[in-house]
Structure 1
Amino acid sequence: MKYFAILRGINVGGKRKIPMADLREKLQNIGCQNIQTYIQSGNIIFNRKKENDLILADRLEKFILSTYGFEVPVIIRNAEEIKKSVSENPFFKDEVTAERLHLSFLKKTPDPENIQKAKNASYEPDAFEVVDKNVFVYCTGKYSDSKLTNKFFENKLKVPATTRNWKTVLKLLEFAEEE
């Protein structure tokens, strides 16, 4: 089965460095095959026998801790989930809109009451929609200026999150469509 491991907070500002070539090589030791990475921010595509997402994420988090000496949150999606995420984005209309879009991947589906708490918070002029294990984000300006950060969603939804811009999400879709 094709999986995507989306790592949070690596290779940013010289901290928590993980060389992608080294990671690709070492992942073979834990049963991953056909390993590819996309950019240095921690997007790993690989094949592996079918496994529960949360168990696989936990296994990869422990592997990274034991190999590199620091904790890295890992969120798992399979190819079908990546395809579904792109098709479900309520904000994706055209290329101009795409520049304003981000996808926050959640480790699991948040409780409905936490979703409501997040919607009640002040985050304008930006917008978001939670769909299953995804938060679709529309920013009117730069993402770095938005209140809709990983920390915002983690605090409100009580679920680990990591965010990618829409260009990266569309590249992950290309990998998902490869057979």
Structure 2
Amino acid sequence: MTTKKYAALLRGINVGGAKKVPMAELREVLEGLGHQDVQTYLQSGNAVFSTSEKDVHALTRELERAVEARFGFAVACLVLDGAYLRAVADGCPFPAAALEGRQLHATFLSEQPERSRFAAIDGPSYLPEEFRIGDRVLYLYAPNGLGRSKLAEALHKPAVLKGIAATTRNWNTVAKLVELTRD
């Protein structure tokens, strides 16, 4: 049976002492689900694995249930295949190679938002920060970093992303996940 490589992105874990998910235990969870070649990257909820399952929605639901059962709290997860991650990297509208990883971010989304959700965001008022909408991803250029970004704050308001699971990674992490999910 042919396997495919995926990245699992867990939202909001290991931040400020809340929702602790040790990476060794996350690897155990993924292995317990029958996935192979499991590895984690950083402490912020990034894992890569191989499986013959092709349905990312089924993989996502299965992982969310397993994480909640193991750790006792719900965590939104996104499971993305390697081809999608490469398409995100290739489709970046900003000059990624010329920027520091902390200046460029990708917010991965569980579904494609309607453009109308962003109508109230006055892009020019946030310059030099900028964002672009891609395929289930928001690209954010924040030259002073995400922690100081007013545009990131506006993009993550409930009116904009209501009902959509979203998790953000800096460009260094995106590049590493692309590398780790190559077949």
Verify same fold: TM over 0.5.
yes
Residue 92 in 1 paired to residue 95 in 2?
yes
Cα pair 1:5 1:75 within 8 Å, conserved: yes
Picking from 164, 169, 178, the partner of 1:164 is 169
Picking from 9, 24, 27, the partner of 1:24 is 27
Q: Which whole-Å CA distance do the structure 2 matches of 1:151 and 1:32 have between them?
A: 37
Cα pair 2:67 2:75 within 8 Å, conserved: yes
Residue 117 in 1 paired to residue 122 in 2?
no
Q: More displaced, 53-62 or 2-11?
A: 53-62
TM-score, normalised with respect to structure 1: 0.88
Q: Which whole-Å CA distance do the structure 1 matches of 2:125 and 2:142 have between them?
A: 10
Letter in 1 for 2:111: K
Q: Which whole-Å CA distance do the structure 2 matches of 1:45 and 1:150 have between them?
A: 28
Three-state SS of the structure 2 residue aligned to 1:62 is: helix
Cα pair 1:103 1:164 within 8 Å, conserved: yes
Q: Which whole-Å CA distance do the structure 1 matches of 2:153 and 2:59 have between them?
A: 21
Deviation string 1:67-124 (CA, Å, 9 cap, x unpaired) is 100111101110000111100000125333544100101111112332x436457860
Shift of 1:61: 0.9
Q: Which has the higher contact order (CA 8 A, sep 6+)?
A: 2
CA RMSD of aligned residues (A): 2.1
Identity across the alignment (%): 35
Q: More displaced, 146-155 or 166-175?
A: 146-155
- Counterpart for residue 127 of structure 1: 130
User: Where in structure 2 are there 5+ consecutive unaligned residues?
Assistant: none
Letter in 2 for 1:85: V
Q: Which whole-Å CA distance do the structure 2 matches of 1:88 and 1:172 have between them?
A: 15
TM-score, normalised with respect to structure 2: 0.87
User: Where in structure 1 are there 5+ consecutive unaligned residues?
Assistant: none
Structure 1 residues 27 and 141 mapped into 2: Cα distance closer, same or farther (>3 Å)?
same
Letter in 1 for 2:181: A
Cα pair 2:101 2:172 within 8 Å, conserved: yes
Structure 1 residues 160 and 26 mapped into 2: Cα distance closer, same or farther (>3 Å)?
closer
Structure 1 residues 21 and 102 mapped into 2: Cα distance closer, same or farther (>3 Å)?
same
Residue 63 in 1 paired to residue 66 in 2?
yes
Structure 1 residues 66 and 151 mapped into 2: Cα distance closer, same or farther (>3 Å)?
farther
Shift of 1:12: 1.3
Number of positions where the alignment pairs a residue of Structure 1 with one of Structure 2? 177
Name segments (4+ residues, structure 1) moved above 4 Å.
118-123
